[in-house]
Structures are given as structure tokens and as C-alpha cells.
Amino acid sequence: MNTPDSPARQRHGAATLVKLFLPSLLGILIFFVPIDIGGETTILLDHMVTGARNLLGHASGLYALTLIVAGAAYPVIRGYWNHSLTERIFTVLKVGGVAAALMALTGWGPAFLHEPDMLPFLFDKLVIPVGLIVPIGAIFLALLISYGLLELIGVLVQPVMRPIWRTPGRSAIDAVASFVGSYSIGLLITNRVYQAGQYSAREAAIIATGFSTVSATFMIIVARTLDLMSVWNLYFWLTLLITFIVTAITVRLPPLSRMDNSAADGEPEVAPGKRFTTAWHTGLEIAAQAPGLHRSVAFNFKEGLVMAISILPSIMSVGLIGLLAAKYTPLFEWLGWLFYPFVAIWGLGDAAALAQASASGLAEMFLPALLMADAEFAARFAAGVVSVSAVLFFSASIPCILSTSIPLSVGRMLLVWFIRVALSLLLAVPTGYLVQTLAG
């Protein structure tokens, strides 16, 4: 990378400026700006996904089934299904995902699987939306990540990201994309940048397990379920603060702290007093070298489609197993006792229930909210925080990460999840008491 004063740096004309700003501004508009359409205020990407689902109607289920079947067949067709024990296990699980999707569509199978919080929840609330948002989002992802915006913002926020979260400045885009749009979109960005050699394994793992949270729109559903909308602004900002404090601590602990931190292509060194100049020229250089829009869109769409077919079968099978375990076995009740000390220290009356509900979030992030809907205020607030700050859960985010190139095993993710939930509870319960006091 040339420095800002390098004689090799060329003057960039109006065409390069347009190439940097026009796609980037369109990308910001699509991913980050809420717009009211038909009485619904959300980002344009979400409107597009809703429109696509409405357009498909009942065929949206068949569309999702097609992706799931393709996802189960893909490892076999590509010949890597038996490369490792993990691949063999997930190939079997993906085939199970096909069976689960067929049951969800046809109504065939045991009645308990068709209860509202089982197959219907997985298929309608997770599989179909993710199956639409990842390919559609990937089409517009090229606008955000291919024309210099990622690198320009990365240089600007490097002084904040590197010392606190030990990630490059460009990871700020991943965090915002996850929060405003979808963790699956954030992971798509992370995987692309990691494959390009611009994130180390440790940096990619930190971003995937620390920044790829559920979206702000899903936080509204959590807040409504827990009757927290009266303190929405406090819940929203304090949950963000706790999530990123937990990430800042987690990156300094094993297993993340011990992962490989070598990367082929880091961010440019910045001379004192020249951060804005360096950011500006870095963005312009990337824009000047960027391929045509049609090539970027085609490449990103292909990547998004591959990710979608990799994720969906696992969501159906692994997610269903997790929901069944949460509802019909004492697994999460036992696991919850590991978190009990982190709650009981604050004298919370619902300590045991909150600890066990938090453990159930490993199966599906929405479960803590469902289980604590009638608890005391501080417990409800803490459950709402943990639903977001835990980040990792088997019904979606863990299969998403496993479908990427990021070297995170299930064992590593379970350890990171435990640390995140424990720290989140330690911070969220007293914060809940504080909010209760502030709210009167």
C-alpha cells in the first residue's frame, strides 16, 4: 500500500470519485437508512425481502425447500462431504434438514413437531427470511464492500477498533451491517474479507463471535415480548454497550486470544496528523482498481447463494434439535446452574429461572425472552440483553459461522458462548436495576 505522499500515487479524476461515492451511498441507503413504506419503517433491504416474500406468496416455502435440498446435495456434489468428521456430521444433519423442511411444508410427522414453537417457528420465522435476505443482500453487498468505503472508514476508526477490540478498523462495517441488517449479512462480509487475506483468523473469529448480533428490528420483537418498550431507548443503547464491553473482554481470553493473528494484507500505516488524508486516498485507490459493478454483483450473489444453501439445512436440523432439547429435556436446566452464581450475586429473586433461560439461548436466541416474559423487571431486562449479547446460538448463527471459512470449531464457539453469557449476566442484572430506578 502506498503512503499518502508516495510519488507512485496517481491523481484520481471525477470518474474515480463517482465510483467511490455513488455505489457506497447507494449501499448505505439500502443497508442503513430506515424508510417508511406502507406504514412500515425499516431499511430498504428489509422492505425488499418483505416484497419478495409477498410476491412469492405460498411459493416462498417451495423456494426455501429448493435451497435446502441444494444445500444438502452441495457437499456431495463438490466431493468434500467426507473430508473431516465435522463435514460428515453436518452432511447428515443437512439431509435431516431436508426431512424437517418437508415435514414443515406438508404437515406430515408427529404432532409435537408442528407446535407453533417448533417447525413452524423455524421454517417461517428463520429459514424463509434468511433464505431471502442472504442472496438479495449479497446483490447489494458489492456496493458497500467493493468500492473503497470499507477501507476509507477502516482507516478512520482504526484508533478505536484496534486497541479496544483488537480488530482492524474495517470491521466497524461488519458490526453495523450485522446490527442494522442481519448477522448473516455481517458474516458474509467477514468471510469475504477473511478469504481476501485482510483479516487474520483471530480477527475474523472475534468479529463473527462478537459483532454478528441479531438485528435492531429483531431487538424490537424481544423488547415487546419482555414488555420493555416503555424503556426502549435505554434497553437499545445499554444492550449495545454491554454487548461490546463483553466482546472487548472476550477477545483477551482463550480461545480467541490464542488464535492465529497473521494476515497477508493489513491496513495502511498512518502518519501522525494524516489519518483523514490516508483514509481518503486509500478509498480512492480501491475505487480506481475495483471491477465493474456487474462483475462485483455477480460474484457477491454467487457467494450469497452458496452461503444460503449452506446455512438453511443446518438451521432446520440443528435448530430443531436445540428447540426439542430446550422443551423436552433438562439439558438447559442443568446447564443453567453454571450461570447461577453470576446472577445470584446480585440477589435477584428470579436468579435460577434467569440462569436457565439464558442457557436455553444456546438453542435459539429468542428462548430467554419467551421464558422470562412474566418475570420481575430486572430479570426481564437481563434476559433481553443476553438474547442479543450472547451472539451464538444453534438455530442459526453457529451453522452460519460453520458454513464460512473462519476456523471456529463448535467447541471453541461453545466456550466463547459461555464466557459471553456469564459476563452479560454479570453486567445486565445490575443494569436492569438501574434502568428500573431511572424509569421510576
Give the pLDDT band of residue 10 (cuts 50, 70, 90). Answer: very low
Q: Which among 382, 387, 378 has a CA at the least distance from the CA of 439?
A: 378
The stretches of 33-58 forming alpha helices (DSSP H) are 44-56
Q: Which amino acid is at 125?
A: K
Give the pLDDT band of residue 181 (cuts 50, 70, 90). Answer: low
Residue 3 has pLDDT above 80, yes or no: no
Query: What pLDDT sits at residue 4?
Result: 46
Q: State the angle between helix axes of 275-289 and 149-165 in degrees (0 to 180), rounded to the nearest 10.
A: 130
State yes or no: cis peptide before 255, omega within 30 of 0: yes
Residue 6 has pLDDT above 80, yes or no: no
Query: What pLDDT sits at residue 235?
Result: 92
Is residue 148 within 8 A of residue 17, CB to CB? The reply is no
Residue 379 has pLDDT above 60, yes or no: yes
Under 8 Å CB-to-CB from 305, ≥6 apart: which residues? Answer: 134, 135, 138
Residues 65-86, mean pLDDT to the nearest whole number: 89
Predicted TM-score (pTM) of this structure: 0.74
Q: Which of 130-139, 194-203, 335-344 has the highest mean pLDDT?
A: 335-344
Flag the least confident range among 256-260, 264-268, 274-278, 321-325.
264-268
Residue 265 has pLDDT above 80, yes or no: no
Q: What gap in Å lies between CA 381 and CA 387, rounded to an integer? A: 10
Q: Helix, strand or coil for residue 423?
A: helix
Query: What pLDDT sits at residue 119?
Result: 93
For the chain, how many helices (H) and strands (E)?
A: 21, 2
Q: What gap in Å lies between CA 422 and CA 96, rounded to an integer? A: 32
Tell me the pLDDT of the chain averaged across its residues: 86
For 144-190, give the DSSP string. HHSSSHHHHHHHHHHHHHHHHHSS-TTHHHHHHHHHHT-HHHHHHHH
Q: What gap in Å lies between CA 130 and CA 107, rounded to an integer? A: 21
Query: What pLDDT sits at residue 12?
Result: 66
Residue 2 has pLDDT above 50, yes or no: no
For 62-74, give the DSSP string. HHHHHHHHHHHHH
Q: Which among 347, 318, 331, 309 has a CA at the least distance from the CA of 410?
A: 318
Percent of the chain at pLDDT above 70? 93
Is residue 87 within 8 A of residue 75, CB to CB? The reply is yes
For 324-362, give the DSSP string. HHHHHSSHHHHHHTTTHHHHHTTT-TTHHHHHHHHHHTT
Query: What pLDDT sits at residue 311?
Result: 82
Q: For the segment 207-238, what is each residue's pLDDT rounded down to a tens digit?
A: 999 988 876 667 877 888 898 988 888 998 89
Position of cell 472475534?
A: 206
Q: For the segment 388-405, what is each residue's pLDDT rounded down to a tens digit?
A: 999 998 877 887 888 788
C-alpha distances (whole Å) from 345 to each of 133, 396, 421 are 41, 32, 15
Cell numbers placing 377: 423487571
Per DSSP, 366 falls in state T
Q: What gap in Å lies between CA 278 and CA 271, rounded to an integer? A: 8
